[in-house]
Amino acid sequence: MDEEKRYIMEIKVPFPNNRYAEIAYNTLRVDKEPRRGGCKKCLTLDENILNVKLEAKEARVLRVASNSFLDFLTLVSETMERFGPPVETDVL
């Protein structure tokens, strides 16, 4: 994004453990922001913390993108809470 005026939203989302953070990260990073939408999304992991950065040239675009992202984050979190931790199995 060029150096003109921009709006940025940064949040840190703590999860109970690294595995939950990885699941959220892998689920949420799949959906790229549409080019025509004008918003850039960057997700990173720091142990059990999901770091989210949304950046847009217009406040309206950032609001729409952040609402959509937070709705999806809520869905992912509630799904993990409802179904519990993933079971890891050894395949022989």
24-54 residue pLDDT tens: 999 998 866 666 778 999 999 999 999 999 9
Domain hosting residue 20, numbered range: 7-83
Contact between 39 and 55 (Cβ < 8 Å) = yes
Percent of the chain topping pLDDT 70? 82
| CATH code (residue 74) | 3.30.310.50
Structural domain contains residue 88: no
Domain count along the chain: 1
Whole-prediction pTM: 0.79
Mean pLDDT of 80-90: 72
**Residue 3, pLDDT score:** 58
42-77 burial, b at 16+ Cβ within 10 Å, e below that, comes to: ebebeebebebebbbeeeebbeebbeebeeebeebe
